[in-house]
Structure 1
Amino acid sequence: MDHPDYQHIAQAIRFLEDHVSEQPSLETVAAHIGFSPFHFQRLFKSWAGVSPKRFLQYLTVEHAKQMLRASESVLETAFEVGLSGPGRLHDLFVSVEAVTPGEYKSFGRDLQLFYGFHSTPFGDCLLAASTRGICALSFVEDGRRQAIEELRSEWRQSELAEDTERTGLLVDRIFATPDREQDEPLRLLLKGTNFQLKVWEALLKIPEGRVVTYGALAEAIGHPGAQRAVGTAVGHNPIACLIPCHRVLRTDGGIGGYRWGITRKRAILAREAANNLRIPD
């Protein structure tokens, strides 16, 4: 659950990305980050569930294209039950509520939000929620002060109070092991335009281990040709991981953008692929 070594993992992933065509050895990658091969292998497998060698295959464009082909009908199938159906992450159900038009215009006036910083498998995060649901989950890129300022800019009329005990319970549920049962849905409280809400709700329909293109997402919500607008809405997703904006790729299998860094997007996708396509090393 708590992975303080994520920065070492990210450093290794960046090295693997930069040298993917060379298929670097375990010893080479370990030396790059200053670890012994044994220590690095143990650390990496603890985090990813597979060896660095196996993980490397999940970083290739070829693998991304295979995932896209395998996921071609995923949105069509998901949308047969409608956008109002529950999103699903492992055995984790997600229910969605949007703020009222008045709350949207007033930037959340009279809403009381509690927040906290926590470690996750993908680095430190900031989670904020109200009694109605989680309204923000971001990875800390430029320090905690900057993260708080960004939260305040989105919810500038809301009352913020730190409560790591309450947010910790939510973080534990979000990043729980896949076989851990969840008793009730995780509630999300979203603040966005009607178009953004439609895109974010569509993202909830993409299962773990599947990916779609920006174009396919645009078609699925009834706006074919609006890839750029969809991309902008995806990039403004306020709730990382739970609303899986990391599962959208370019048509050519390219990674595309990610609000919290390309390396982190690759790490999340590859770890999900490892969870779903686990092959003994």
Structure 2
Amino acid sequence: MHQVYNIEQNFSYQASIEDKIFLKELSEQQSFSETDFLISHKKRNLLVNEFIELKSDCKKLTTRLDISYEYKNSPFGKALIMNSKYGVCGLAFCDHINEEIALADMMSRWPSATYSAENIFSDLEFKSVLDQTTKINLCLIGSPLQLQVWSALLKIPAGKVTNYKTLAKHIGKPKAVRAIATAIGRNPLCWLIPCHRVLRTNGELGGYHWGLKVKKAMLRFESI
């Protein structure tokens, strides 16, 4: 009896093998160490214009904030970008969930803000935001730990990766790996604050709030 050859299953298997080889090479050759964190400077075109801390009673903003949003096409699928008077405060990707769910997810982080759908960037302007070829003001909204973690992520350059343990050591909380991983997962400015450059210690992808397919695409995009 002949074995049935499933071309779709075989393609999926080959893709999985290629992904493992790619991630192994990436984690071995492009590792960003604790020492690298100390000497690195965040990207010059990304300027954190405002840090807004959330109160301890969770998602309540310490200041009144009006946030506009729109959907744009990107190399990583449909993107949701959010802007405030202080700068860009949100960037999410909607490929593995629909746009409404992505918007509700982002709004739930800052429920006391006021939201409106507006045209924020032209296609060309949005491309320059993603490419970081022009100065971009960022507005980081989060808890003290989240702000600390996200600021550290800005130091990891394109084409480099680190792991959760190294990041935890860098910010002086070596035993708080789980809490730091959670803060990474709550990053509201994906791609611009490169949480996709954090892998597991064994070189595996780990998690990604907007889907591992997006994380993988970002890492491959930066490795070209």
TM-score (norm 2): 0.82
Paired residues in the alignment total 213
Task: For 1:213-252, list aligned pairs within 5 A.
Answer: 213-252=163-202
Quickly say closer, same or farther: Cα 1:148–1:158, change in 2 above 3 A.
same
2:138 to 188, 198, 202: 188
Do the aligned partners of residues 223 and 254 (structure 1) sit closer, same or farther apart at CA in structure 2, a change above 3 Å counting? same
Aligned 1:29-44 pairs, distance under 5 A? none
CA distance in 2, matches of 1:169, 1:160: 24
- Deviation of 1:66 after TM superposition, in Å, equals 3.1
Greater strand share, structure number: 2
Q: Secondary structure at the match of 1:254?
A: coil
The residue number in structure 2 matching 1:119 is 73
Written as runs of structure 1 = structure 2, the 5 A alignment for 1:75-154 is 75-80=34-39, 85=41, 87-88=42-43, 93-96=45-48, 97-100=50-53, 106-107=60-61, 110-140=64-94, 141-154=96-109
Shift of 1:207: 0.6
Provide the rounded CA distance (Å) in 2 between the counterparts of 1:256 and 1:17. 19
Question: For the Cα contact (< 8 Å) 2:153–2:195, is it kept in 1?
Answer: yes
Residues 1:69 and 2:25 aligned together: no
Cα distance in 2 between the residues matched to 1:146 and 1:105? 18
Residue type of the partner of 1:94?
L
Q: Secondary structure at the match of 1:119?
A: strand
Deviation at 1:17, TM superposition (A): 5.5
Distance 1:221 1:167, change over 3 A: farther
Q: Secondary structure at the match of 1:127?
A: strand
CA distance in 1, matches of 2:10, 2:214: 13
Contact 1:135–1:239 (Cα < 8 Å) also in 2: yes
Classify the secondary structure of the residue corresponding to 2:45. Answer: strand
What secondary structure sits across from 1:256 in the alignment? coil
Are 1:114 and 1:162, in contact at CA under 8 Å, matched by a contact in 2?
Answer: yes
Tell me which residue corresponds to 1:174.
129
- For residues 72-126 of structure 1, the C-alpha deviation after alignment (integer angstroms, 9 at most, x for no partner) is 4544223236xxx5x22xxx62112211566x86336531111100100000011
Change in CA separation of 1:18 and 1:108 when aligned onto 2, cut-off 3 Å: farther
Q: Does 1:18 align with 2:13?
A: yes
Provide the C-alpha distance between the structure 1 equivalents of 2:184 and 2:73, rounded to a whole number of angstroms: 24
Asked if 1:272 is matched to 2:207, the reply is no
List gaps (5 residues or longer) in structure 1.
Answer: 1-13, 23-55, 275-281
CA contact (8 A) 1:108 1:157 kept: no
| Structure-2 separation of matches of 1:93 and 1:164 | 22
Q: Is the 8 A contact 2:32 2:162 kept in 1?
A: no
CA contact (8 A) 1:95 1:188 kept: yes
More helix as a share of residues: 1
Query: Structure 1 length normalisation: TM-score?
Result: 0.67
Deviation at 1:21, TM superposition (A): 6.6
Q: CA RMSD in A?
A: 2.7
